[in-house]
Amino acid sequence: MHPTQPDPVPAPTPEFKQRPAAKPPSEFERTVRQMAAMTDAAAHPRKPFQARGSFIKRCDGCRMPRDFCICGFRTPVTTQAEFWVLMHREELNKPTNTARLIGDTLPSSRVFMWQRNAPSEALLALLQDERYQPFVIFPDDQPDYQHRVVAYDQAREAQTARIPVFILLDGTWRQARRMFRKSPYLDHLPVLPVRSSRKTLYRLRKPASEAHLCTAEVGIALLEMAGETRAAQVLQHYFQVFNEGYAAARKQTPASWSESMQWLSEQASHPVDD
Ligand SMILES: [Zn+2]
């Protein structure tokens, strides 16, 4: 005989938690789309562009398949450090590009299309601006530019009045290497390698090794390096929600309410000033 016990109260089913509504695209995202539209128009003047997988209905704010929208979780953060993304043409139309997660989270981010023979005038002007201290983010694994490799804290000494800028070469590994080698206007800049013990959690593209971080993960490591702790956390959680969204879309099951979703929705209701 068992003593009669009251039925346990069922735990709330996480799937039913109200997901925040979609938002309009960020400034960064709008710029990427403008560049993509211009490129497409130049390449195919008569044909409207059809992206791969474009039969999927995507959210206008985050380009995720509409049922797996994540932009309601977008949480803009103010930082001293800035990101300037030099994006390879082939990244412009890829919904799996993760530089956009940085652009969505840090509204101060800027994006420029990389073109071998036509560097962005806006970028060239910014590189002359004394208010900024730009670093090219690139591994230090080749001997010929070792003299340019710096350590962040040391490089920032006596430069604290200037805004640190992380220039990200956004493309495949091969493309990034080409961008680094074929952009003479970057040749005078210090090279900052990202040393991180983290292994990549990005599953949408096959990395050459677990140590090859995707662009958003590089962003997280840089924010940690720059002491921008809260921004690093926000980006980490937003990246996690992005991964969860894609995993759920692949299985065609609604993404269940996760710790990262909870964390980000709490930021929205209790904003913290840095
Ligand atoms: Zn969305």
Q: What is the pLDDT of residues 33-42, one digit of tens each?
A: 999 999 888 8
Taking alpha carbons only, the member of 167, 2, 206, 5 closest to residue 86 is 167
In a domain, 170, yes or no: yes
Rounded to a whole number, what is the distance in angstroms from the first to the last CA of the chain? 59
Rounded CA separation 113/34 (Å)? 10
CA of 237 to the centre of ligand 1 (A): 16
d(CA 224, CA 153): 12
- Residue 10 domain-assigned (yes or no): no
Decide if 253 is inside a domain. yes
In a domain? residue 261:
yes
Give the distance (Å) from ligand 1 centre to CA of residue 195. Answer: 32
Cα of 191 to ligand 1 centre, how many Å? Answer: 35
Within a domain: 47: no
Q: State the distance from the centre of ligand 1 to the C-alpha of 267, rounded, in angstroms.
A: 18
Residue 12 lies in a domain: no
pLDDT at 274 over 50: no
Say how many Å lie between the CA of residue 70 and the centre of ligand 1. 5
Please give the distance, rounded to the nearest whole angstrom, from the Cα atom of residue 77 to the centre of ligand 1. Answer: 18
Q: Is there a domain that residue 67 lies in?
A: yes
> 33: CA distance to ligand 1 center in Å?
15
* Total number of domains constituting the chain: 1
Is a pLDDT exceeding 70 seen at residue 5? no
Smallest CA-to-CA distance from 153 within 250, 208, 227 is with 227
pLDDT reported for residue 44:
73
Whole-angstrom distance, CA of residue 267 vs CA of residue 9 = 29
In the reported structure, the alpha carbon of residue 227 is separated from the centroid of ligand 1 by a whole-number distance in angstroms of: 29
Characterize 225-239 residue by residue with b for buried, 16 or more Cβ atoms within 10 angstroms of its Cβ, and e for exposed. Answer: bbebebbbbbbbbbb
pLDDT of residue 165: 98
Q: Is residue 17, in this structure, part of any structural domain at all?
A: no
pLDDT recorded at residue 100: 96
The domain in which residue 29 lies consists of 23-42+55-269
Half-sphere exposure (CA, 13 Å, Cβ side) for 214? Answer: 23
Q: Which of 39-53, 90-104, 181-195 has the lowest mean pLDDT?
A: 39-53
At 2, the pLDDT band (50, 70, 90 cuts) reads low
Instruction: Say how many Å lie between the CA of residue 217 and the centre of ligand 1.
Output: 21
Mean of pLDDT values over 33-54: 74
**Per-residue model confidence (pLDDT) at position 46:** 64
Residue 8's pLDDT band (cuts 50, 70, 90): low
Out of 41-50, 116-125, 151-160, 243-252, pick the least confident: 41-50
Say yes or no to pLDDT of 11 above 60.
no
- How many percent of the chain have pLDDT more than 90? 68
Angle (nearest 5°) at CA 180 between 225 and 182: 160
What's the mean per-residue pLDDT of the chain?
88
Residue 62 Cα, ligand 1 centroid: separation in angstroms? 4
Q: Which band of pLDDT confidence, cut at 50, 70 and 90, is reported for residue 7?
A: low
| Rounded mean pLDDT, 18-46 | 88
Instruction: Please list the residues that pair with 134 across neighbouring strands.
Output: 165
> In angstroms, what is the span from residue 79 Cα to ligand 1's centroid?
24
**Cα separation of 139 and 147, whole Å?**
13
pTM: 0.88
Give yes or no for residue 168 having a pLDDT over 80. Answer: yes
Please give the distance, rounded to the nearest whole angstrom, from the Cα atom of residue 148 to the centre of ligand 1: 40
Average pLDDT over residues 191-199: 83
